[in-house]
Amino acid sequence: MKTYLITGVAGFIGSNLAKKILKEDENVKIVGLDNMNDYYDVKIKESRLEELEKKQNFIFIKGNLANKETVENIFKKYKPEIVVNLAAQAGVRYSITNPDSYIESNIIGFYNILECCRYYPVEHLVYASSSSVYGANKKVPYSTEDKVDNPVSLYAATKKSNELMAHSYSKLYNIPSTGLRFFTVYGPAGRPDMAYFGFTNKLLAGEKIKIFNYGKCKRDFTYIDDISEGVYRVMKKPPQKQNGEDGLPIPPYAIYNIGNSNPENLLDFVNILQEELIRAGILPKDYDFESHKELVPMQPGDVPVTYADTTPLEKEFGFKPNTSLREGLRKFAEWYKEFYMK
């Protein structure tokens, strides 16, 4: 029986990945770690967890990734072969006002994972990076070959730090590791701090929504099922261990983008969202959408466009995200009605 450790298992990506593994693979055990913090509505995390706990071969541990003893005890007891580190303090804007939580979770927490992978060897460490590492890069689409030395938020800086830390541990201790730069993940039971979720809450409450950069932002929205499929394929194929001419390990290290490669204008996105909210019966058919939107300047830490070059992912794993924005937002709207309005 192969054991997977998924950190941030009650999170949006973590819970969907755990469900996919348990559905696709027999004879596996998933150990899930999450601190269940209240950065956003804990009820959504509890709902995701409840679904997982109905399944066999799923073990949940409530704990903090930044607590080294907690992480060590998991590695000692369960000896995971594959580790997927998805626990992190997320959110660009929150990092401007709450930097401590980013250093604790994203730097110290990730260091604890790396140390345990060093002392309790694993087949593969997969970890979440972010499209935010591209910062203010002007060249699009973003390629993993691009320089990413100009983060525009602390969140982005912590994610770039994770990539550097993983590279050094791969080199020093021959740990196969793969970083995944996710592009604007959305879908049912997603994070309420994401724009599509916040817009829905505000429109339902009759409040105005603020559309940043006067609606000229573009985002590479990526549906959650595409993300979990991508992570699932990547984690099964670790970078190969090999030595260089000097006899020392060539770092078994890789980085991939996972995005839709089809950036959508924010105004188009908001129009599709409101159409799907009306279709689902969340908003009335005669909803006056124009009076509920406000075009405003760019926010600190934001970037005008995200756009993924996913060619390496396609070549090496035969996979490209392909869920259309309308299909994804339709599923979100249906879930929202069921979860909040039943």
Kindly give, in sequence order, each residue whose CB lies less than 8 Å from that of residue 234, ignoring residues fewer than 6 positions away. Answer: 126, 178, 180, 256, 313, 317
> Distance (Å, rounded) from C-alpha 321 to C-alpha 261?
8
Residues 6+ apart with CB under 8 A from 31: 3, 4, 5, 6, 59, 61, 74, 78, 80
**Do the beta carbons of residue 157 and residue 151 sit within 8 Å?**
yes
For 273, the enclosing helix (H) or strand (E) is helix 266-279
Among 286, 5, 282, 211, residue whose Cα is nearest residue 123? 5
CA dist., res. 250 & res. 246, Å (int): 10
Place of tokens 């073990």: 59
39: annotated active-site residue: no
Question: 209 in helix, strand or coil?
Answer: strand
Which helix (H) or strand (E) segment is 154 a member of? helix 154-173
Q: Which residues pair with 98 in a beta bridge?
A: none
User: How large is the angle between the packed helices 42-53 and 12-24, nearest 10 degrees?
Assistant: 10
- What is the rounded CA–CA span in Å between residue 274 and residue 271? 5
Structure tokens at 104: 């604790």
C-alpha 28: how far from chain center: 23
Cβ(199)–Cβ(209) below 8 Å? yes
155, 232, 253, 307: which is the annotated catalytic residue? 155
Report residue 310 as tokens: 């996913």
DSSP string spanning 302-315? --SB--B--HHHHH
Q: 208 is written with which tokens?
A: 């105005």
Q: Which residues are catalytic?
A: 155
